[in-house]
Amino acid sequence: MDLNFNKNEDYNKLLVSELNKRLAKVHLGGGKKSIEKHHAKGKMTAHERVNYLLDAGTKSIEIAAFAGEGMYEPHGGCPSAGVVVKIGYINGKQCIVVANDATVKAGAWFPITAKKNLRAQEIAIENKLPIIYLVDSAGVYLPLQDEIFPDKEHFGRIFRNNAIMSSMGITQIAAVMGSCVAGGAYLPIMSDEALIVDKTGSIFLAGSYLVKAAIGETIDNETLGGATTHCEISGVTDYKAKDDKDALDTIKNIIGKIGDYDKAGYNRIDANKPKENPADIYGILPKSRADQYDMYEIIKRLVDNSEFDEYKAGYGKTIITCYARIDGWAVGIVANQRKLVKTKQGEMQFGGVIYNDSADKATRFIANCNQKKIPLVFLQDVTGFMVGSKSEHGGIIKDGAKMVNAVSNSVVPKFTIIIGNSYGAGNYAMCGKAYDPRLIVSWPSAELAVMSGNSAAKVLLQIEKASLEKKGEKITLEKEDELYNKIKDRYDNQVSPYYAASRIWTDAIIDPLDTRKWISMGIEAANHAPIEKAFNLGVLQV
């Protein structure tokens, strides 16, 4: 191992350590005191409920753990958007579980809470996965109601999706384990089956205080909408549980009796670990996002037996296209090569840049994978498409459009791993969030933006200087440096993977060594949903 490898290894391991620290913090939800108060009521926390429900000792992945981070500080914050979402196994069946975290503002819904819940439902719909709701929420967070209530992708979309999933035959089970008020009361009742925990669970459109104010009736919340009321009088709920564990055990029993599902039929054989040590990724991946490295070495540490069959190896070298297996699943990999490469004509091409030939190759490969029903994995470390007269005269816009077209119309499931840079139109062509990857995650080394911090700061600096000079201000070198650093610091914060994760532009930030698990569980989920339409590129300018 060389010195550079060791420096990279130390740096990337520190990034993973920071990731784990931040995860531990958000997993505390509203904090230790809030958890103690929650336990004093005889209730389990959201994480405890989810972990108890999932089969012990099995794999699981958490969606959008960093949602809301840094977004609502004037309101006291909203760790993990006040809701826990995990994909895992219940009685051996893969499911997605959504649990309100009542230690965070009593489980109230912030705008990002709605977005996270909609993302969970989107995953369930795309993959036809059973979805379990563990409800414990005070309803909409009123100070921000205008940002969550009336629009298409707001709170009401949740109930619309309940109805759509029901018509699709996707199993939905809800357990009311705390408050369930106002519009939120519709979610569990629009599920296939609903449970309620005695004494702690309640459902009503309006609580006792509002009832008193609205119609003058005096009644307590338990009589109004407790477990006995809804299991024995209204018939709104189907099962009455004595406590949290009893409710969760009932869900396990129901899930355990669900029949088998129609499979998409993606190819899988016995899994093999990579022959090359996956932990080497820490040393291969450079500290600086501007530095070159060999993406082949990353691929070897992600795929079974470190083996792959490369498509068009000598052509379009700044994108690698190859067939491989990950945890036994057949996959087609589209990866940005970050090494300076030489064409057969002797020209040098910059790593991480998409050229005409590499876009053309990727388009053809994506079409092949669709024809063969092979899921696609995109490994992003892209600075964008090549610019300049040669590329423009060669039709780079047209070749880029073909690639974007192929990604957009792909019918096989797509999975995106943002390893390093994810800049500009390169993000789009390499299956960014706008292109419906089934799962999209980043490594702690990732950066997402229109362009790099340095490039953006230089552009923005010129605009700022021109504006100040118009006003008659003299810009000294010291003033210029001050402006540049101020702009770059702001921009660097926005390109951080945590900034993206807090807004659910990605589903998670993960340790690189968990990449195989995410892809494998993602393809297993996708296998629940047979492909229902043919691959068609539509009209292309050739």
Would you state the pLDDT for residue 1?
A: 56
Inter-helix orientation angle 111-127/156-168, to 10° = 10
SS in 3 state form for 318-363?
CEEEEEEEECCEEEEEEEECCCCEECCCCCEECCCEECHHHHHHHH
CA 127 to chain centre: 14
Cα–Cα distance, 227 to 177 (Å, whole number): 10
Q: What is the CA radius of gyration of the chain?
A: 25
Cα–Cα distance, 360 to 148 (Å, whole number): 42
- Decide: 356 and 397 in contact? Cβ < 8 Å: no
Beta strands in 26-164 (DSSP E): 61-62, 83-90, 93-100, 131-137
pTM more than 0.85: yes
Would you state the pLDDT for residue 526?
A: 98
Would you state the pLDDT for residue 183?
A: 66
Beta strands in 372-511 (DSSP E): 376-382, 384-385, 414-423, 439-442, 447-449, 508-509
Triad 397, 402, 407: Cα angle to 5°: 125
From first to last of its 542 residues, the chain has per-residue pLDDT tens of: 589 999 999 999 999 999 999 999 999 999 999 999 999 999 999 999 999 999 999 999 999 999 999 999 999 999 999 999 999 999 999 999 999 999 999 999 999 999 999 999 999 999 999 999 999 998 888 899 888 888 888 888 999 999 999 999 999 999 999 988 876 778 888 999 999 999 999 998 888 888 888 999 899 888 888 999 999 999 999 999 999 999 999 999 999 999 999 999 999 999 999 999 999 999 999 999 889 999 999 999 999 999 999 999 999 999 999 999 999 999 999 999 999 988 878 788 888 999 999 999 999 999 999 999 999 999 999 998 988 888 888 888 888 999 999 999 999 999 999 999 999 889 999 999 999 999 999 999 999 987 666 777 777 778 877 887 788 887 788 877 887 888 778 777 888 999 999 999 999 999 999 999 999 999 999 999 999 999 998 776 55
The phi and psi torsions of 419 (rounded to 5 degrees) equal -85, -45
Instruction: Identify which of 185, 171, 178, 166 has the alpha carbon closest to the alpha carbon of residue 234.
Output: 185
